[in-house]
Amino acid sequence: MSMQNSNSSAAPSWPLLTGVSVVGVYAHFLLHAESQIAVLGLAVGAILLLIAFSRFGWTARVATSAATYPKLLGAGAVAAVVLVAAVSYEMHFALLMLTTVLLYSTVCLGLNIQFGYSGVVNFAGAAFFGIGSYTAAVLASHSPLPHLLIVALAGLVAALLGSLLILPVLRTRGHYAALITIAFGILFKTFLEVNDALGGPQGLKIPGMEILGWKFNDNIAIGDHELSFYLNYLVLSLALCAVTFVLVRRLERSWMGLSMDVVRLDETAAATFGVDIARWKITAFTLGNGLAGMAGAIYGMMTGFVAPNNFTFGDSLILVSIVILGGIGNPWGILPAAAIVLILPEKLQFIQEYRFLLYALLVILILLFRPDGLLPRKIRNYFPGDAGR
Amino acid sequence: MQRRSFARFTLATAALVVAGAFAATPASARDTVKIAFIGPLTGGVSVNGIGGRNSTDLAVRLRNADPKSKYRYELVSLDDECKPNVGVQVATKAASDNSIIAGVTHYCSAVAMGTVDVYHKFGMPVIVWGAVLPEITYGNNHKEIHRVNGTMVNQNEVAAKFMTSQGYRKWAIIHDTTDYGKGHNKYFSEYLTKSGGQILGTFGVTADQQDFTSELTKIKELKPEVIFFGGLTPLGVRIRTQMDKLGVKAQFEGTSGIKSDAFAEGLGKDLAEGSLSFIEGAPWEKLPGGLVFTGKYAQQKYAEAPEAYGPFAFAAANMILDAIEKVGPNRKKVRDELNNAKNVDTIIGKVTFDDHRQNIVPLITKYVVQDGKWVVWEDSEYGKGKRKLMGR
C-alpha cells in the first residue's frame, strides 16, 4: 500500500498525458496528410521527434508515467481515438482508415495471445478474419438474426473452424506448426474460389449493419451537419478493440497468462510443473481465432463486400508483421504498428507502383534499429510504477 | 562584415529563385479539375494496371496541351492491388473527395463488384475500363457506373460462332478458377452448345498451377479438335508449351486474356503460330484515332506498354474529359452527360451506353498469331486462306 502511494507521488502523470496528446495530434495530421510534402514532412518529423524524445530522456519518463497509471493510459488512448474521429467527423476516408486500424488491431491482439503468450504460431490470421466476414455475409443476407448476435456468431464459427486445426497444431512444433496454418490459409482461399455457393472468386455482398433500427450505413444528421456513416462503425470497432484490450491485459496479469508464458518458454518445464500444455494452447488458439472472426464480421459489414482475394497468405503475413513490428507480446505496441502498416502504404499512393518498395524499406529500417519491435514487452509488472518490477 | 554580405547574397538568391518559380508558372486562368484512375499498380496483374494508368495519363496530358480546353486536368492515380478490400478503400478515398469529378476505374472484376456501391453512395460517375464480369453493369441499376469495354458474354458468343463456322465440332476446355476463367467457361460453353459444338471435357486449374500433365494426358485421350483456354497469358504459355511436349495435337483457342505480346514472345514463333484470341472493340490499330494513340504513347516514353486494355482506359478518360468540357466540373451533370452517350467516336470504335450504361460493343475483333505477331484475322494469311488452322 505504502509502496503504491510513494510511487504515484514520485511519478507525475503529465508526461503520460503529453505523450498521448502528441501521438493523437500526430495521428490526426497523418490521417489528413494528402500532399507529398506533408507526408514526407510527417515521416521526417516522426524520426526527429523520436530522437529528441530519447535524447532528452522523455521516453523513459513517459514510460514510467505510463507504468504508474495504466488505467489513465487506457482512458487516454480511447479519448485520443474519439477526439481524432470527432475532428474528422465528415471525412469518410479518414474514418474508414481509422476503423480499419482498430479492427486489425483487434485481430492482432488475438494473434498476440496465440504467439505472444502461448507460442502457438498462426500464419492463417487472414483466413479466420475472412471466416468472420463470410459468416456475416451469409447470416445477414439469409437470416433475421440481430446483427450484434451475428458478430458474436462469426467469432464462434471462426473459433469452431479453427478447432479443426487443434490436433495437428498440438502434435507439431515450431516451423511445422507454422506450415500447418499456412496450408490452412491457402486451403481456405482455394475452397472459396471453387465454391459457387459462397460467391466463388467474385465474392458476396454484405448488407450494412443495423442495430434496433439504427442503420449503420446512413449518414448521421444532426441539425444541418451530416456526420459520416463510418462513425457508427468506428464506435463499434473502438468498443470491440477496447474490450479485447482489457481482456488481453487481464489475461496477461492472471495465472492464465503466467501459464501461457511458461508453455511458450519451455514446454518440458511447464509439463514438469503440472501445467497442462494442451489446455493453454487450445485456449489461446481458439480465443485468438474467435477475436479475428468478430473483427472480420464488422469489417465485412463496413466494406459491404467480401471476396477470397481479401484473404491471401500475404494478408496473413501483414497481420503477423503488425505483431512483430509492435513488439511480440506487448498489446500496447499493436496500435501504433497497425497504424504504420495500414496507413503508410496508403499515404504513399503518390509514388504508385513503387510504394511497397519504400514501405518495405521503412519496415526493415525500423526492425534494424528496434529489433524487438516498437514497444518491446517488459517483464510482467504486478504493481504500478517501476518498483513493481 | 563578410558574414553579413553572405547573408545578403543568400537572401538575394532566394528571392531570385522564388521570383523565377512564379515567372515559370504559366499565367493561365484555367481552373484545375481532378479525375481519378484506379487499377492494379502492384501485384500479379500490375502490367495491365500500369498500361491503363499510362493510357489515362496520356489522355490527360494531351488534353492539357490542347489550348482549347477550358480546364487544366490533374490525374489522381490509385492502386487497388486487385483486392476488393483495398479497392473499397481507395474508391472511398476518391469518391468522398468532392474535388475529384469522375473516375476511370478497375481492371479486376471482383474489385469492381465491391466498389460499385461506393461510387453510387457518394455519387461519383465512373467508367470501367477493363473488368469484364457482366454483373458489374447488369447486376445493379446505379446511374454512376458505365463501362466501355464489352463483357465476356459478347466475346464468347462471337468466339463460339466463329469457331463452329470454321468447321470445328469437338472441344476440350481448360480454365483457371478465378472469376475470369470461370466466367469464360460458363459463357463459352453456353454459346458453343447453342451453335452445335460438343464439349468432351472441362478442366479447372488454379491460376498459379505449373504442371498440366494429368489434365493434358486426359485431353489427349479425348481427342478434341480444339482446346479452349479461359485464362491469362502466363498460364496460357505453360499450357501451350506442355501441349507440345505431350504431343497433344489440337487447335489452341484463347480469350482476351492471352492477347498480349508476352504470349507470342514467351512461346516463340513456332509454338505460338495459329493461336487464336478474341477481344472486344474495333481493331484500334486500324482506326485513325488508334494510330494517333500509339504514336503519342510512344512519344511520351512510358516505360511500359499500354497492353490490351490501355486503349479502353484512354477512350474512357477522353469521354470523361469531353463531358467535363461540355457541362463543367459537376458530378451530377457529368453523370447525366455520360448516361446519354450515343455513337461517340473513340479509338475503340463508336460507344453507345444501353439502359444499364454498358457499351453495346458493335464489334469483337478476332486475332491470330502469324509469324510471332498478333494479326487481325481478316488481314492474316489464315483469313485469306493462304495458311490453315490446325486440322483444317
Report d(CA B52, CA A51) in Å as an integer: 43
Regarding whether B217 and B166 lie in a shared domain, the answer is yes
- Which tens digit of pLDDT belongs to each residue from B290-309? 788 888 888 888 888 887 78
**Which chain B residues touch A358 with a CB distance below 8 Å?**
none
* Interchain proximity B79–A352, CB inside 8 Å: yes
Residue B385 lies in a domain: no
C-alpha–C-alpha distance, residues B303 and B313, integer Å: 17
Output the DSSP codes for A335-383: HHHHHHHHHHHHHGGGGGGGHHHHHHHHHHHHHHH-TT-SSPPPSP--S
Look at residue B388 and tell me if it is in a domain. Answer: no
Residue B204 sits at the chain A interface (C-beta within 8 Å): yes
Residues contacting residue B125 through CB under 8 Å, at least 6 positions apart: B101, B102, B103, B119, B143, B144, B146, B320, B331, B334, B335, B338
Query: Quick one: pLDDT at residue A3?
Result: 43
B342 and B258 fall within a common domain: no
Q: Does B42 fall in a domain?
A: yes
| pLDDT given at position A293 | 94
Q: Are residues B168 and B314 in the same domain?
A: no
Number of domains observed in the structure of chain B:
2
- Provide the sign of the torsion angle of the four alpha carbons A181, A182, A185, A186, taken in this order: negative
Could you tell me if B95 and B180 lie in one domain?
Answer: no
Grid cell in block for residue A135: 459468416
Looking at residue B83, what is its pLDDT? 87
Residue B41 and residue A303: Cβ atoms within 8 Å? Answer: no
In a domain, B2, yes or no: no
Q: Which residues of A touch B (CB under 8 A)?
A: 91-93, 96-97, 100, 190, 193-194, 200-203, 205, 299, 303-307, 309-310, 312, 346, 349, 352-353, 355-356
Q: Is residue B387 part of a domain?
A: no
Looking at domain A92-338+354-369, its CATH architecture is Orthogonal Bundle (1.10)
Same domain, yes or no: B90 and B13: yes
Cβ contacts from A onto B, under 8 A = 88
Q: Which is more confident, A217 or B188? A: B188
Give the C-alpha distances (Å, rounded to integers) separating A74 from A20, A69, A78, A243, A249. Answer: 10, 9, 6, 11, 11
Q: Which three cell numbers stand for residue A338?
A: 497497425
Which residue's C-alpha cell is 487450445? A282
Q: Give the separation between CA B283 and CA B363, rounded to whole angstroms.
A: 9
Are residues B199 and B268 located together in one domain of the fold?
yes
Co-location of B15 and B74 in the same domain: yes
Q: Are residues B81 and B30 in the same domain?
A: yes
Predicted confidence (pLDDT) per residue in A284-328, tens digit: 999 999 999 999 999 998 888 888 888 888 889 889 888 988 888
> Cell for A82?
474519439
CB B346 within 8 A of CB B318: yes
Please count the other Cβ atoms lying within 10 Å of the Cβ belonging to residue A161.
Answer: 17
- Between the alpha carbon of residue A105 and those of residues A71, A100, A166, A292, B380, the distances in Å are 19, 8, 24, 10, 58
B186 with B84, same domain? Answer: no
Per-residue pLDDT band for B228 (boundaries 50, 70, 90) equals: very high
B78 touches chain A (CB under 8 A): yes
**Chain B partners within 8 Å of A303 (Cβ):** 84-85, 88-89, 114
Determine if the pTM surpasses 0.90.
no
Question: CATH 1.10.3470: which residues of chain A?
Answer: 92-338+354-369
Closest CA to B133 of B66, B178, B72, B86: B178
pLDDT of residue A384: 64
Query: Are B206 and A93 in contact (CB < 8 Å)?
Result: no
Which of the residue ranges A200-214, B101-115, B292-306, B368-382 would you say has the lowest mean pLDDT? A200-214
Q: Using one digit for the tens of pLDDT, what is the confidence trace for B39-79?
A: 998 877 788 899 999 999 999 999 999 888 889 999 999 99
Residues of chain B found within 8 Å of residue A194, distances taken between Cβ atoms: 177, 204
Domain housing B63: 7-150+283-361
Placement of cell 458476396 in the chain: A204
pLDDT tens over chain A, length 389 residues: 344 444 445 567 777 888 888 888 888 887 777 777 787 788 788 878 878 877 787 777 777 777 777 778 888 888 888 888 887 777 888 888 889 999 999 999 999 999 889 888 889 999 999 999 999 999 988 888 888 899 999 999 999 998 888 888 888 877 888 889 899 998 888 888 877 788 777 788 888 877 776 777 777 766 667 777 888 888 899 999 999 999 998 898 888 888 998 888 888 888 898 888 889 989 999 999 999 999 999 999 888 888 888 888 888 988 988 898 888 888 888 888 888 888 887 877 777 677 778 778 877 887 788 788 778 887 777 766 555 44
A381/B3 Cα distance (integer angstroms) = 58
Instruction: Collect all residues of chain B within an 8 Å Cβ-Cβ radius of residue A296.
Output: none
Instruction: Identify whether residues B262 and B295 lie together within a single domain.
Output: no
Instruction: Report d(CA B156, CA B35) in Å as an integer.
Output: 33
Let me know whether B345 and B370 are in one domain. no
Whether residues B221 and B245 share a domain: the answer is yes
A305: closest chain B residue by CA: B114
Q: How far apart are CA A141 and CA A198, in angstroms?
A: 12
In a domain, B384, yes or no: no
Question: What does the pLDDT read at residue B4?
Answer: 54
Q: Which of B147, B357, B191, B179 is nearest to B257 (CA)?
A: B179
Average pLDDT over residues B222-237: 90
Which residues from chain B sit within 8 angstroms of residue A352, using beta carbons?
A: 41, 53, 77, 79
CATH number of the CATH domain containing B190? 3.40.50.2300
The beta-carbon contacts of A344-353 under 8 Å, at least 24 apart in sequence, are: A346/A97, A346/B89, A346/B93, A347/A30, A347/A33, A347/A39, A348/A39, A349/B77, A349/B78, A349/B79, A349/B90, A350/A36, A350/A39, A352/B41, A352/B53, A352/B77, A352/B79, A353/B41, A353/B42, A353/B46, A353/B50, A353/B79
Q: Is B120's Cβ below 8 Å from some Cβ in A?
A: no
Q: Report residue B124's pLDDT band, with 50, 70 and 90 as the boundaries.
A: very high
pLDDT at B8: 57
Asked whether the beta carbons of residue B89 and residue A346 sit closer than 8 angstroms, the reply is yes
Tell how strand B344-346 and strand B226-230 pair up. unpaired
Q: How much is the average pLDDT of B132-160?
A: 87
ipTM: 0.78
Asked if B89 lies within 8 A of A97 by C-beta distance, the reply is: yes
Cell 496528410 locates to A33
